């Protein structure tokens, strides 16, 4: 996997190790073995949760600051940071949409300091379960469930919302089948047979996040699925509703700190 960062107006990319990547509505996980390089200073929109299989994961807010070693850390949205995972055997990095219920709860608990430490005991065993699920190659669905367990624990037990409202289910199905097209609030609300204002409020109540970030996450989920299936960056961008590969790359860097073309995944999780 590579990370890009501003450095005198140019982008610097480095390899940080081979691992596996899974994603879901409002979040994603990259889990890997010991890195061979330090991730340079960068910032992104998504809230980042990172922890190692043992103490020693390093973070610092700038190149001028000293490194601090952590069990785990929460990086607030837009907080500049550099990460050193060369001292721990395994590292889990999760990105959480700040507008989800879990994202807001994690922000309220951890984000005041920008880079906030938490001991592995905070995870109440969910961190160990995540690494065990990955090492035993139990499959992508099991890994997603374990990752969401970590997020839920850090959020104080607040979990994702599952909608049962037929209007919202109809609207989300329509969104998933029209990601290649511009999607406006008015068009999606029309599918639910609601006014835009009523639909906006109902969507947040039922889905736990606003419509715009939901659509963006669905676009990225499609991009990652297509790239994993061998699609080109350009074709994946157009299929997911981005103007072109450059637009997709800019949006990905802004949201996660790395371009989608950088995901170098080490083999399928679902094979024995």
pLDDT in tens, 24-46: 999 999 999 998 888 889 999 99
pLDDT, mean over the chain: 88
Residue-level pLDDT at 4? 41
Residue-level pLDDT at 175? 97
Residue-level pLDDT at 266? 55
CB 94, CB 29: distance < 8 Å: yes
What is the pLDDT confidence band of residue 6, given thresholds at 50, 70 and 90?
very low
CATH 1.10.10.60 placement within the chain: 166-257
Distances from the Cα of 259 to the Cαs of 73, 133, 223, 262, in angstroms? Answer: 23, 27, 11, 6
Structure tokens at 8: 């005198």
Look-up of token digits 């938490």: 118
Q: What is the pLDDT of residues 215-246, one digit of tens each?
A: 999 999 899 888 878 899 999 999 999 999 99
Instruction: State whether residue 252 is helix, strand or coil.
Output: helix
CATH 2.60.120.10 placement within the chain: 2-154
Of the candidate ranges 17-21, 70-74, 120-124, 167-171, the one whose mean pLDDT is the lowest: 17-21
Q: What is the pLDDT of residues 107-137, one digit of tens each?
A: 999 977 899 999 989 999 999 999 999 999 8
Structure tokens at 190: 């029309």
CB 233, CB 244: distance < 8 Å: no
Indicate the helix (H) or strand (E) that contains 203: helix 196-207
* 3-state class percentages of the chain: helix first, strand second, coil last, to nearest 5: 40, 25, 35
Q: Report the CATH superfamily, name and number, of domain 166-257.
A: Homeodomain-like (1.10.10.60)
Cα 179 to Cα 248: distance, rounded to the nearest angstrom: 13
Cα 151 to Cα 124: distance, rounded to the nearest angstrom: 12
Collect all residues with Cβ–Cβ distance below 8 Å to 64 and sequence separation of at least 6. none
Q: Report the CATH superfamily, name and number, of domain 2-154.
A: Jelly Rolls (2.60.120.10)
Q: Is 108 exposed, middle or buried (0-12, 13-18, 19+ CB in 10 A)?
A: exposed
Q: Virtual CA dihedral for 62, 77, 19, 83, nearest 10 degrees?
A: 10
Residue-level pLDDT at 158? 87
């Amino acid at each position: 996997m590579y990370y890009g960062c501003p450095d005198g107006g140019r982008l610097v990319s480095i390899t940080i190790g081979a691992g596996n990547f899974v994603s879901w509505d409002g979040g994603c996980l990259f889990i890997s073995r010991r890195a061979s390089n330090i991730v340079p200073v960068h910032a992104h929109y998504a809230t980042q949760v990172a922890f190692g299989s043992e103490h020693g994961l390093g973070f610092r807010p700038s190149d001028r600051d000293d490194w601090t070693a952590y069990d785990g850390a929460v990086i607030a949205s837009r907080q500049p940071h550099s990460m050193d995972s060369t001292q721990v055997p395994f590292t889990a990095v999760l990105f959480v949409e700040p507008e989800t219920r879990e994202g807001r709860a994690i922000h309220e608990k951890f984000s005041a300091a920008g880079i906030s430490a938490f001991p592995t005991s905070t995870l109440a065993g969910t961190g160990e379960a995540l690494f065990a699920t990955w090492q035993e190659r139990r499959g992508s669905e099991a890994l997603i469930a374990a990752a969401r367990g970590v997020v839920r624990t850090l959020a104080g037990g607040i979990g994702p919302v599952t909608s049962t409202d037929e209007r919202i289910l109809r609207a989300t199905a329509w969104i998933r089948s029209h990601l290649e097209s511009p999607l406006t609030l008015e068009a999606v609300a029309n599918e639910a047979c609601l006014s835009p204002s009523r639909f906006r409020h109902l969507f947040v109540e039922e889905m736990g996040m606003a419509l715009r970030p939901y659509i963006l996450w669905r676009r990225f989920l499609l991009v990652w699925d297509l790239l994993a299936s061998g699609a080109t960056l350009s074709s994946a961008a157009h299929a997911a509703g981005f103007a072109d590969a450059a637009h997709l790359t800019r949006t990905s860097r802004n949201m996660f700190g790395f371009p989608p073309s950088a995901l170098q995944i080490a083999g399928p999780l679902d094979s024995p």
